[in-house]
Amino acid sequence: MTALYDEIESILLSIEKPGRYCGGEFNSINKENPFFRMALSYPDLYEIGMANHGLRILYDVSNAIEGCACERVFSVADDMRDVLVEKKIPLFTLESRTPLSECDLLGFNVSHELIYTNILQILDLGSVPLRRTERSEKDPFVCFGGDAISNPFPMSLFADLFFAGEGEDGLPELIRCMMDCKEKGLSRKETLEKLSYIDGVIISEYLDQYGKTRKVKKRSYRGHPVNPLRPIVPSMRISQDKAVVEVTRGCANLCKFCHAGYYSLPSRNFSYQDSVDAAKQIIQNTGYDDVTFLSLSIGDYREMTELLNAVLPYFNERGVSISLPSLKVDESTLPVIRTISDIRRTSITLALEAADEEMRMNINKKLTIDELERIVTALFNEHWDTVKFYFMLGLPGYKEKDEAQAILDLLTRIDCIGMKRKKINVTVSPFIPKPHTPLENADMASEEYFRDTVRRLKSSVPKRIVIKNHNIGSSLIEGLLARGDSSISAVIEDAYRKGAHLDSWDEHFRYDIWKQAIAAHAVDTAVVYSSKTADLMQWKIIDTGYGHLTDSMRSKCSDRIFNPSLSRDLDTEASAAGVAAFKIKYDCKTRARVVLTKTGAMKYISHLDYMEIVKRGFRILGIPLSYTQGFNTHERLAAGYPLPLGIESEHELFDLDLYDDLDQSLFTGRDSLAFPCGVRVLSVSEIEGRDSLMAAINALAFTVTAKDPSVLAVIRHSLENRIPLVKVSKEGVKKDVLFADAVKSYECSESAISIIVTIGTPNSLRIDQLVAQLAGAEILSAGIRLLKTASFTADGTSLRNIL
Ligand code: SF4
């Protein structure tokens, strides 16, 4: 262990959500002494970054290269930033806790512009100079890829190189080239020169020469889908915490405003059989019970019915649920919506974008008002209680049409269909003309227009219709960053220095800071937002391969896509048979008690997150856990007393209801296949009766150790003198507690102290609060380690011993 490792350990418990920074997750890869080390990032907080599918893919393909260790780093929250700065600890990778400045390459997957300042925070805290011109031979190379890089100019001050295209296609080539250069001892300049010959790579220093001499060809991946079959399973809850299988890439609908659709062309459909196999393996390898089939527009997946017919019986039998994000709602997708939403009919989303039919047709969104009314009527008749609508403001034609009135008229019609009894929620967002779309040359409406339209909407709708708007300031900044040129780099740097960070989070976005930075650099935003002629669209140096299509779509619309798969029948009987087969799991045939550890990095994981880790592990092991019946079915598993953060345990108790006999061999020697480091199965046994575990436990045993022997001496002295104790309630109210009411017994040895404490009584104390009082110091600063070792019933029987 390095000194840095110890320093990091010393700070993690002083911050909120240490699970963001401790690593050690199930399926994470930590290679020892690699020749080449890179840090890969989706630059947002851990819980957002870890949900990025691109990151999963790039982590997998990079770590498949021999000699290359691909590790992760994310942006940090304010509390962690303050501690890192105060203690002068450099930001580090999660796997090996290597400072970023010691990596060979820092790769950022940048999907949208509002995470640019997060990148600067990561570089800054990692002691890597923000500006590429200030980096020396010992600094890592900094590379940006992802959708936002479709216009690389605003970030050109900070990137050594960009990668245009899909990473699984080009990243391995890029890494191998860098490894080769490192082996040959080439300089930074020589390495960049070599990299410049790779298709898709843009060297920032040469950025102004592109376009004049040549274009950069964006790379598109044409092989089989790279669905990581052993993705990292986060130890703490993240956004979209589920198994993910990508079934399509690109989108053939060609909605003219859609950057994701155009920049990810060509539209590809992956084989349903590959997707089914991947989904089954990922569930087995992760223990997830929820699968997302990822697609920009899943309703257009050409093997949709085949996919659902293959997975629904299998998943229903195992209690695995399916989500189909981005499922466009039209008459062809209604049967699918009915099938997958049989149990829960809460809300459904219709992304209309424009309420005025002519504007809607002009952006190539082909839902007619008649069809919309038929769909909404069907949904309301089938007991959908809430319908959500998405609209954009400022779409082409906004100057001639009254967008607010068109939205109000449409909502009134929908409200009448729902007989003013259904819930209608509406979100409106400013339209941002993005590069490489047919509307790239359009103007972005003014701040006044957006604010005035939102105000009119909110003041005119009936109260039961809820209208929310996307932050107008952040949309304008996103537009600036998406459409700007190299001069915007200085604005980004300045905004970051002034405190801009996590700009895509409403609660963190600081429009005032951005306005100051824009003013300080005298950027004329009106020019950036105005309509563009070809020579002002500097992003055209990237050849997406579909420029001709984008240009031609400017003046026409495409035909509506017919998905033949949706006209084939869903096998509802097989799906229902799966649901029926699952019902066997409502029985309880046997009960078992399992003792698990919670040590190492697991001490930073909350009790609720630990419960999820345990459940997923049991699913991987194939433990026949019973399920509760009802609306929100879940495994019947009870845990012992929750362990406070920072305390380790060799005695975490779980009582399980099983619908089958207990088979010890399912556990024996297989725990490392199912749990992250720090969670191991110590014992398993059958139990009788249905007594509640929590009610049975009366006392807990802990072992106390400390780096400094004098700390143990103080604790021992306090115990021997039975010092008066104080209990502090959650509300901060203090009360005196008799020593004998809190401490049942203790035993001291040279190197450790064992303490048995009472629990569940008005006078019992949390072990960390008790030991802090005994030591006269904070657990963290005194270097004290607490390890739970046993639980006892009221008559003093150890629950471990009776197993
Ligand atoms: S259907 Fe969705 S993903 Fe496809 S082009 Fe239209 S908006 Fe984009």
Length of the chain: 803
Distance 411 CA to ligand 1 centre (A): 23
469 lines ligand 1 (CB under 6 A): no
Minimum-distance ligand 1 atom for the alpha carbon of 251: 4
Helix or strand (DSSP H, E) at 596: strand 590-598
Answer yes or no: are the C-beta atoms of 721 and 776 closer than 8 Å.
no
Minimum-distance ligand 1 atom for the alpha carbon of 262: 5
**Secondary structure (DSSP) of 748-794:** E-SS-EEEEEE-SSTT---HHHHHHHHHTS-TTTTTEEEEEEEEE-T
| CA–CA distance, 425 with 385 (Å, rounded to integer) | 11
| CA–CA distance, 74 with 336 (Å, rounded to integer) | 37
Determine phi and psi for 51, rounding to 5 degrees: -85, 0
Q: Any idea what DSSP says for residue 113?
A: G
Distance 260 CA to ligand 1 centre (A): 7
Answer yes or no: are the C-beta atoms of 58 and 39 closer than 8 Å.
no
Tokens of 661: 């006999």
Distance 329 CA to ligand 1 centre (A): 12
Tokens of 605: 């994981």
261 lines ligand 1 (CB under 6 A): yes
- For ligand 1, atom 6, the nearest C-alpha belongs to 255
**Secondary structure (DSSP) of 433-445:** --TTSTTTTSPPP
Ligand 1 pocket: which of 111, 246, 255, 257 to mutate (most atoms <8 Å of CB)?
255
Minimum-distance ligand 1 atom for the alpha carbon of 296: 3
Minimum-distance ligand 1 atom for the alpha carbon of 300: 1
Assign 3-class secondary structure to 700-727.
EEEEEEECCHHHHHHHHHHHHCCCCEEE
> Which pairing describes strands 290-294 and 321-323: parallel, antiparallel, or unpaired?
parallel
Distance 446 CA to ligand 1 centre (A): 25
Minimum-distance ligand 1 atom for the alpha carbon of 258: 8
Determine phi and psi for 669, rounding to 5 degrees: 65, 10
Answer yes or no: are the C-beta atoms of 250 and 265 closer than 8 Å.
yes
| CA–CA distance, 246 with 268 (Å, rounded to integer) | 11
Answer yes or no: are the C-beta atoms of 263 and 436 closer than 8 Å.
yes
Cis peptide before 266 (omega within 30 of 0): yes
Answer yes or no: are the C-beta atoms of 799 and 641 closer than 8 Å.
no
Answer yes or no: are the C-beta atoms of 425 and 411 closer than 8 Å.
no
Helix or strand (DSSP H, E) at 513: helix 511-520
Determine phi and psi for 649, rounding to 5 degrees: -150, 140
Ligand 1 pocket: which of 147, 247, 249, 251 to mutate (most atoms <8 Å of CB)?
251
Which residues partner with 108 through β-bridges?
A: 41, 144
C-alpha distances (whole Å) from 394 to each of 253, 257, 453, 627, 754 are: 21, 11, 9, 50, 68
Q: How many CA atoms lie within 13 A of 335 on its CB side?
A: 13
Minimum-distance ligand 1 atom for the alpha carbon of 254: 5
Phi-psi region of 784 (alpha: psi -120 to 50; beta: other; left: phi over 0): beta
Tokens of 719: 């115990």
Minimum-distance ligand 1 atom for the alpha carbon of 353: 7
Predicted confidence at residue 559, as pLDDT, reads: 84
Question: Cα 34–40–45 angle (5° rounding)?
Answer: 135
Distance 295 CA to ligand 1 centre (A): 10
Taking Cα atoms as reference points, which of 472, 475, 477, 523 lies closest to residue 496? 477
295 lines ligand 1 (CB under 6 A): no
C-alpha distances (whole Å) from 85 to each of 14, 124, 367 are: 14, 10, 53
| CA–CA distance, 20 with 683 (Å, rounded to integer) | 30
Predicted confidence at residue 344, as pLDDT, reads: 53
Tokens of 597: 């550890």
C-alpha distances (whole Å) from 506 to each of 76, 476, 511, 769 are: 17, 14, 10, 37
Distance 349 CA to ligand 1 centre (A): 14
260 lines ligand 1 (CB under 6 A): yes
Distance 364 CA to ligand 1 centre (A): 10
Taking Cα atoms as reference points, which of 448, 401, 408 lies closest to residue 428? 408
Tell me which amino acid residue 477 is: I
Helix or strand (DSSP H, E) at 745: strand 743-748
Tokens of 446: 């003014």
Q: Any idea what DSSP says for residue 140?
A: P
Distance 232 CA to ligand 1 centre (A): 29
Rounded average pLDDT per 10-residue block, the chain, 803 residues: 82 94 96 97 98 96 97 98 97 97 98 97 98 97 97 97 93 97 98 96 91 85 88 95 95 95 95 96 96 92 93 93 80 78 66 94 92 90 87 96 96 89 93 97 97 96 92 98 96 98 96 98 95 89 94 88 82 90 94 96 96 97 94 89 94 96 92 95 90 87 95 96 91 90 94 94 92 93 93 79 39
Distance 299 CA to ligand 1 centre (A): 11
The residues of the chain that CATH labels 3.40.50.280 are 2-217
Secondary structure of the chain: what % helix, strand, coil (to 5)? 40, 20, 40
Q: Under CATH, what is the fold of the domain 587-687?
A: Alpha-Beta Plaits (3.30.70)
Q: Which CATH class is domain 694-793?
A: alpha beta
Whose tokens are 């990299």? That residue is 195
Distance 255 CA to ligand 1 centre (A): 6
Distance 548 CA to ligand 1 centre (A): 19
| CA–CA distance, 259 with 435 (Å, rounded to integer) | 7
Taking Cα atoms as reference points, which of 559, 432, 427 lies closest to residue 151? 432
| CA–CA distance, 300 with 506 (Å, rounded to integer) | 32
258 lines ligand 1 (CB under 6 A): yes
Tokens of 94: 């999660």
The residues of the chain that CATH labels 3.30.70.580 are 587-687
Assign 3-class secondary structure to 159-214.
CCEEECECHHHHHHHHHHHHHHHHHCCCCHHHHHHHHCCCCCEEEHHHHHHCCCCC
Distance 253 CA to ligand 1 centre (A): 6
| CA–CA distance, 339 with 312 (Å, rounded to integer) | 9
Ligand 1 pocket: which of 248, 249, 253 to mutate (most atoms <8 Å of CB)?
253
255 lines ligand 1 (CB under 6 A): yes
- For ligand 1, atom 3, the nearest C-alpha belongs to 296
pTM: 0.94
Which residues partner with 201 through β-bridges?
A: 163
Minimum-distance ligand 1 atom for the alpha carbon of 364: 6
Taking Cα atoms as reference points, which of 345, 412, 348 lies closest to residue 383? 345
| CA–CA distance, 785 with 780 (Å, rounded to integer) | 9
Which residues partner with 203 through β-bridges?
A: 161
Determine phi and psi for 712, rounding to 5 degrees: -65, -35
Cα torsion 75, 504, 109, 443 to 10°: value is -150
Helix or strand (DSSP H, E) at 495: helix 488-498
Distance 167 CA to ligand 1 centre (A): 22
Ligand 1 pocket: which of 258, 367, 559 to mutate (most atoms <8 Å of CB)?
258
Cα torsion 108, 114, 117, 122 to 10°: value is -40
Answer yes or no: are the C-beta atoms of 137 and 127 closer than 8 Å.
no
| CA–CA distance, 348 with 185 (Å, rounded to integer) | 57
Q: Any idea what DSSP says for residue 666?
A: G
> Which pairing describes strands 386-393 and 423-430: parallel, antiparallel, or unpaired?
parallel
Which residues partner with 674 through β-bridges?
A: none
Domain 2-217 has CATH 3.40.50.280: yes
Predicted confidence at residue 384, as pLDDT, reads: 82
